[in-house]
Each structure stands twice: as C-alpha cells, then as structure tokens.
Amino acid sequence: MNLPNKLTLGRIVAVPFFIACFMMKMYIAALVIFCLASLTDLLDGKIARARGLVTNFGKIMDPLADKILVYSALCLFIDDRIISGWMLIIILAREFVVSGMRTIAASEGTVLAAGMSGKVKTVFQMFAVILIIAGLAITSVPLILKAGMILFYLSLVLTVYSGVEYVIQNIDVFRR
C-alpha cells in the first residue's frame, strides 16, 4: 500500500479518537485530531499526483474518508444541538446520489472521480467544523462559532451546487 493510501486510512482510523474526545468535551484534543486528519486529505492527494501514485483505491477511499470524518462531526453537532438534522439530511442525500452514480459506473469498469466543486465543498465543510469546534473550545470568543456556522451554511449551498453539477456532468450513468 502506498503512502497516500496509508494517509487516507489514517484519516479513517483517527475518527473514533476524534469522536471520543468530542464526546468527553475535550474540544482542544478533538480539534487537534480533526485538523491533523484534515491535513492528511491535503497531503495524500498532493503526494499521489506528484509521485504518480493515483490509484482506484485512492479515488474511491479518499472522498469516503473525508465523509466519515466530516459526517462524524456533523452527527456530534446534531447531538449537541449545534446544527439541525435536516442539514445533514441534505448533505447525505447528495452523497447517496453521487455514491450511487459511482457504483453504477464502477459496475461497468468506470471510475468517476470527485469534481472540483465537490472538493471545494469538502474544504468548506472541514473549515466550518474546525471553526465550530474551536468556538466550543474558546467560548470567550463567540465570533469563532458564528464564523463556523456561516461557513457551514455556505457549505450547504456548495453541497447542493456540487451535487447538481455532478449529476449533470455524469448524466450518462443514468442512461446505461
């Protein structure tokens, strides 16, 4: 297994530790774990492209690892009443559509990689989560939490946009 794929798996392994820290209200530790895990997303892609180590495993597991990390945080936010459940439903609906399309394409030997708007959406989600957790950790600066929520709302808009764009760009999958 190459380094980028190990970094992707490392992001998945970090999730239970992040969850445990968050649930124990150890927000600084949760924030550090989330930030480090998020950095692996940046690193694995850069290393894979620079060294010619792009694999089908990476194309599929990298976005999945992102989702596991970010959606774990969003579930925790729902549990703590920071965000509403309908917000996660919108995000999950987009992901199920995209994943379904990828599955159909994969059954025919085609890999549909993530588009740029989907990557931007993920970055917005990650930064929103980081700011929200930082806002929970640093309660003396309520502006941090508010900035995180604004970014999260923007990520919702990007979620819908990137989902629609992905369907339009890959509509042929439904015609097979």
pLDDT in tens, 2-24: 999 999 999 999 999 999 999 99
Show me where the domains of the chain are located. 3-175
User: What pLDDT sits at residue 174?
Assistant: 74
CA gap 86, 160 in Å, rounded: 13
Helices 56-79 and 85-107: angle between axes, nearest 10 degrees = 160
Q: Which residue in the block uniquely carries the two structure tokens 């931007």?
A: 120
**pLDDT tens-digit series, residues 122-170:** 889 999 999 999 999 999 899 999 999 999 999 999 999 999 999 999 8
User: What pLDDT sits at residue 109?
Assistant: 83
CA gap 29, 98 in Å, rounded: 32
User: What pLDDT sits at residue 176?
Assistant: 66
Kindly state the percentage of the chain with pLDDT values over 90: 71
The hierarchical CATH code for the domain 3-175 is: 1.20.120
User: What pLDDT sits at residue 4?
Assistant: 92
Mean of pLDDT values over 44-71: 89
Q: Is pLDDT at 90 greater than 70 in this prediction?
A: yes
CA gap 159, 126 in Å, rounded: 13
CA gap 90, 27 in Å, rounded: 26
Cβ neighbour number for residue 70 with a 10 Å cutoff: 23
